[in-house]
Amino acid sequence: MYYAFEAGIYLSYYLPPCLIIIRDLLHFRLTTSYSLPCKPLYFWTIPDNFLYHFHLMYEMSTAFISCVVASSIDTMFGFWIYQIASTMDAMTYMLTNPPSTERYSDIIKMCVIKHQKLMQCCDMLGHIYGKIIFWHIISNAVLLCALMLQASTFTEFTVSNISMFTTFAAIKLIQSFIYAWHGTVLTNAEYILVNGLILVSIAIREQTLL
């Protein structure tokens, strides 16, 4: 869904110029009658020649690479989180509903060993994604503040201004929500599993004392 959202935004910005270029090529001409999506960001004057088309190709390639890399990194984080969380949920279910064919002590031993391995995986995931998440927090906060500052300077609210503001704000808010949500999923799964292990160990100790 996140990748589809980014792909839809990418197409909405760069599909109209491509359609204009295709129409001109069908009429055996190549004009610069289209507008560049990021033209206000350039601090130099773009000439109406082949460099104008070069700027469009540069924008399209940069935006495409950014969308693919960002969505891949973000979704991969969610993939690993859900794998770890689903394994913890399966271990919790095995503790609360042990199979009759296995000894309960063996199940507990297996869950403890697997929990230690999962914690090592979490440490590796935190080591890899810790800097990425920290960078996202800082950059998203700065970008949202810059967008609000830019919106306060609008003399008139046109469709272009509103769409650009809401688009970038929505992308950064969704990105921040994805990382926070996945972290919450992993924390809840670990909390439930640890509580299950503690309750089981207490119950076994009480049975041995009796």
pLDDT tens digits along 55-88? 888 888 887 887 777 778 888 888 888 888 888 8
Distance CA 57, CA 51 (A): 10
| Beta-carbon count within 10 A of 95 CB | 17
Is the pTM of the predicted complex or chain greater than 0.85? no
Distance CA 173, CA 34 (A): 30
| Cβ-contact 136, 176 below 8 angstroms | yes
pLDDT of residue 186: 82
- The residue type at 207: Q
Residues 6 or more apart whose CB falls under 8 angstroms from that of 122 comprise 84, 186, 190
| Cβ-contact 32, 48 below 8 angstroms | yes
| Cβ-contact 165, 150 below 8 angstroms | yes
| Cβ-contact 51, 1 below 8 angstroms | no
pLDDT of residue 30: 74
| Cβ-contact 56, 17 below 8 angstroms | yes
pLDDT of residue 160: 66
pLDDT of residue 205: 67
- Extract the tokens encoding 129: 């994604």
Coil, strand or helix: which one is 77? helix
φ/ψ of residue 41, rounded to 5? -85, -15
DSSP letter, residue 129:
H
Spans in the chain with pLDDT lower than 70? 1-3, 5-6, 39-42, 160-161, 203-210
